[in-house]
């Protein structure tokens, strides 16, 4: 075998080895969540938690945060989502011990600090419930891409708030890593599949 042929064979073997190594080491992408390969920045915000503590962008750093918009008078989506998250909370912690769940109230008129404290503790005492007036809440919602709307709030004490049933996942850099969208079967409450969430969360953490 001449030198030129030896060199060609060596190049092919090296290339094949590199491709094989790449395929073996390439981490799988999430299959269900809307995953941002380039995480999205959040605007600065200022909320208050159920204990009266200020909650800003800085409180997101170093943690994986699942953010959900809801309110204590919500008849179906909110309790379903919070209950499902409570069921899998230990598994979220196993994937990363710095996982946290944040409920952001979209009904500050009725959701006082004390009411939120009582409500969130019913589902899980480790969860945080956050609130702010609409002038601070709307910009935060837009930044996350989780919108809400209130109708007839001035005409009734029993008004409902239309809000997203999705979850935003914020990475330890305080940037949006992914959105988990709710699925809705005919006649059922919109909800996020817990198994799919756990599967994709593990992949997202591994990709970070």
Q: DSSP letters of 68-99?
A: EEE-TT-SSHHHHHHHHHHHTHHHHHHH-TTE
pLDDT at 115 over 50: yes
Q: What is the pLDDT of residue 157?
A: 77
Q: Could you tell me whether strands 99-105 and 64-70 are parallel, antiparallel, or unpaired per DSSP bridges?
A: parallel
- Is 134 annotated as ligand-binding? no
Q: What is the pLDDT of residue 28?
A: 94
Reported confidence tier of residue 13, pLDDT bands at 50, 70, 90: very low
CB under 8 A, 24+ apart: contacts of 77-80: 77/163, 77/165, 77/182, 77/189, 77/190, 77/191, 78/103, 79/123, 80/189, 80/191
Q: Which residue in 208, 197, 203 sits closest to 66, CA to CA?
A: 197
For range 14-38, the mean pLDDT: 70
Q: What is the pTM of this model?
A: 0.84
- Is 78 annotated as ligand-binding? yes
Q: Report pLDDT digits (tens) over 140-173.
A: 999 998 889 987 656 667 788 999 899 999 999 9
Domain annotation for the chain: domains and CATH numbers: 29-207 (3.40.30.10)
How far is the C-alpha of 25 from the C-alpha of 23, rounded, in Å?
6
Q: Are 172 and 58 in contact (CB under 8 A)?
A: no
How far is the C-alpha of 120 from the C-alpha of 70, rounded, in Å?
11
pLDDT at 24 over 90: no
């Amino acid at each position: 075998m001449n030198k030129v042929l030896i060199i060609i064979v060596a190049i092919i073997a090296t290339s094949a080895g590199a491709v094989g190594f790449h395929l073996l080491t390439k981490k799988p992408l999430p299959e269900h969540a809307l995953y941002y390969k380039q995480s999205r920045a959040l605007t600065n915000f200022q909320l208050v938690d159920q204990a009266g503590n200020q909650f800003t962008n800085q409180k997101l750093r170093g943690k994986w945060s699942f953010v959900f918009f809801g309110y204590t008078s919500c008849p179906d989506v909110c309790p379903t989502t919070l209950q499902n998250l409570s069921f899998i909370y230990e598994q979220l912690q196993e994937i990363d011990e710095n996982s946290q769940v944040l409920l952001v109230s979209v009904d500050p008129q009725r959701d006082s600090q004390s009411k939120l404290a009582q409500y969130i503790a019913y589902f899980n005492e480790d969860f945080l419930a956050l609130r702010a007036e609409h002038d601070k809440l709307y910009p935060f919602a837009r930044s996350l891409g989780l919108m809400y709307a209130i109708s007839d709030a001035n005409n009734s004490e029993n008004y409902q708030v239309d809000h997203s049933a999705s979850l935003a996942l914020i990475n330890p850099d305080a940037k949006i890593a992914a959105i988990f969208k709710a699925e809705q079967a005919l006649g059922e409450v919109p909800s996020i599949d817990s198994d799919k969430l756990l599967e994709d969360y593990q992949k997202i953490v591994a990709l970070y």
